[in-house]
Copies of this chain bind each other. A is one copy, B any other.
Amino acid sequence: MLAARSEVQVDTSEVRVTEWRLAPGSATGHHTHGMDYVIVPVTAGEMTIVAPNGERSRAQLAAGKSYFRKAGVEHDVLNETSTEIVFLEIELKP
């Protein structure tokens, strides 16, 4: 599986903003969120989420429609579609 590409846009003592680009067939790799975070989709798209127990679910993204999650979320994120998915992850430093 291809690796998603990431680029840090902002990194201050308050916040880190990372742009994620998931080409078709790519994945972030399994990870645990150490900080509370907001996701802002830049593109529309559909992500496949794989939970630690292997359970798979789909999440629809709409450009500019954000959501918030608390630290501790653990998952892999895959793009099984034929179009690139781009989103920003805004991590709130404690």
In the bound complex, CA of A24 to CA of B8 (Å): 32
Contacting residues, chain B, for A9 (C-beta < 8 A): 65-67
**Is A61's beta carbon under 8 Å from chain B?**
no
What is the oligomeric copy number? 2
**Is A88's beta carbon under 8 Å from chain B?**
yes
Instruction: Identify whether the interface residues of A are mostly helix, strand, loop, or mixed.
Output: strand
B-contacting residues of A (Cβ < 8 Å)? 9-10, 12, 14-15, 17, 19, 36, 38, 40, 42, 63-68, 86, 88, 90, 92
Q: Is the CB of B64 within 8 A of A38?
A: no
Q: Is the CB of B66 within 8 A of A88?
A: yes
Q: Is the CB of A14 within 8 A of B36?
A: yes
